[in-house]
């Protein structure tokens, strides 16, 4: 598996995401993911499963330095003192003295000035609690603002990204600023596995539609993708995307699947005004 280098962070291109995974599911499937070779794990305070993520990593026997761990601060913890307490709580739950990447979970839902949020991100990094800092669900203007306000480089912007959602503007901005995009919802809420074009392309390579979509994402420069599953068979499928490559024509054909109503995640009060 290759890593994506973005503003000093070397992020494994394929991550294991834990959004909407119960504690029991994490304890059952994350150990299998680590055994299989996943070395990038994504969680968040809001997911309610950091403790189980920490337990699985601790019990894996894999050196902590070999696993890239991302977590996020929720919007109600953006005030300085609450922010620090949230990070300390995350570290305790994750059974580690640092996380590799810490993100602001959403730009909305808080009246705390962006300068204060970014300032505290930098503070916990200086304290050694965080190796790299990033953002999530930011539009291009907010990416620019975060970069201006931050002393340390912003490593990534974690956003919804799949074949039905055109993120060209965000990706162009990320590249100009030296950061990556980390894609979540890669399966587009179950639309991807049933897509005829993706299935047809997959058949040419001996792969599934889901593998084609994941490959399409990681084959783009500066893109990291999070995969998520609670089943062991699908876990192996998701991991097996580095032994084939899509042609330029196939990449372009998949890009044509994007449509104006392709966005799935858009919570009122949290989401920004998205780039058109």
The reply to whether 274 falls in a domain is: no
- For the chain, first and last CA: distance in Å? 33
CB count, 10 Å around CB of 180?
26
The whole-model pTM stands at 0.97
pLDDT at 1: 81
Contact 93, 123 (CB under 8 A): no
pLDDT digits (tens), the chain, 276 positions: 899 999 999 999 999 999 999 999 999 999 999 999 999 999 999 999 999 999 999 999 999 999 999 999 999 999 999 999 999 999 999 999 999 999 999 999 999 999 999 999 999 999 999 999 999 999 999 999 999 999 999 999 999 999 999 999 999 999 999 999 999 999 999 999 999 999 999 999 999 999 999 999 999 999 999 999 989 889 999 999 999 999 999 999 999 999 999 999 999 999 999 998
Query: Coil, strand, or helix at residue 183?
Result: strand
Instruction: Write the burial class of residue 152 (CB in 10 Å: 0-12 exposed, 13-18 middle, 19+ buried).
Output: middle
Number of H helices, E strands in the chain: 10, 10
The reply to whether 236 falls in a domain is: yes
Contact 73, 102 (CB under 8 A): yes
Which residue ranges make up the annotated binding site for substrate? Answer: 105
Domain count along the chain: 1
The reply to whether 273 falls in a domain is: no
Q: Which residues lie across from 5 on neighbouring strands?
A: 10
For the question of residue 185 being annotated catalytic, the response is: no
The reply to whether 28 falls in a domain is: yes
Pairwise CA distance, residues 195 & 191, whole Å? 6
The reply to whether 203 falls in a domain is: yes
CATH number, domain of 247, equals: 3.20.20.100
- For 122, the domain range is 3-255
The reply to whether 270 falls in a domain is: no
DSSP per-residue codes, 30-80: HHHHHHHT--EEE--GGGT-HHHHHHHHHHH---GGGSEEEEEE-GGG-SH
Give the CA angle between residues 267, 209, 243 to the nearest 5°.
115
- Write down the catalytic residue from 47, 164, 184, 185: 47
The reply to whether 263 falls in a domain is: no
The reply to whether 266 falls in a domain is: no
């Amino acid at each position: 598996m290759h890593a994506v280098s973005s503003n000093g962070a070397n992020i494994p291109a394929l991550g294991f995401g834990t959004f909407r995974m119960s504690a029991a599911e994490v304890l059952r499937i994350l150990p299998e993911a680590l055994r299989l070779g996943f070395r990038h794990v994504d969680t968040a305070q809001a997911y309610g499963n950091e403790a189980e993520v920490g337990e699985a990593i601790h019990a894996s026997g894999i050196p902590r330095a070999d696993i890239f761990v991302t977590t996020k601060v929720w919007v109600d913890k953006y005030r300085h003192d609450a922010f620090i307490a949230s990070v300390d709580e995350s570290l305790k739950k994750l059974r580690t003295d640092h996380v590799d990447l810490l993100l602001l979970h959403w730009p909305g839902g808080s009246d705390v000035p962006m300068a204060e949020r970014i300032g505290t991100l930098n503070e916990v990094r200086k304290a050694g609690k965080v190796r790299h800092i990033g953002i999530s669900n930011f539009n291009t203007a907010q990416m620019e603002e975060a970069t201006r306000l931050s002393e340390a480089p912003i490593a990534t912007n974690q956003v919804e990204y799949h074949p039905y959602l055109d993120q060209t503007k965000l990706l162009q901005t990320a590249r100009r600023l030296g950061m990556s995009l980390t894609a979540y919802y890669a399966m587009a809420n179950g639309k991807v596995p049933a897509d005829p074009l993706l299935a047809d392309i997959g058949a040419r390579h001996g792969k599934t539609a889901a593998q084609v979509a994941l490959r399409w994402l990681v084959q783009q420069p500066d893109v990291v993708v999070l995969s998520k599953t609670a089943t062991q068979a699908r876990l192996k499928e998701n991991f097996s995307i580095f032994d084939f490559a899509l042609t330029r024509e196939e990449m372009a054909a998949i890009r044509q699947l994007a449509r104006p109503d392709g966005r799935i995640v858009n919570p009122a009060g949290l989401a920004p005004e998205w780039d058109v």
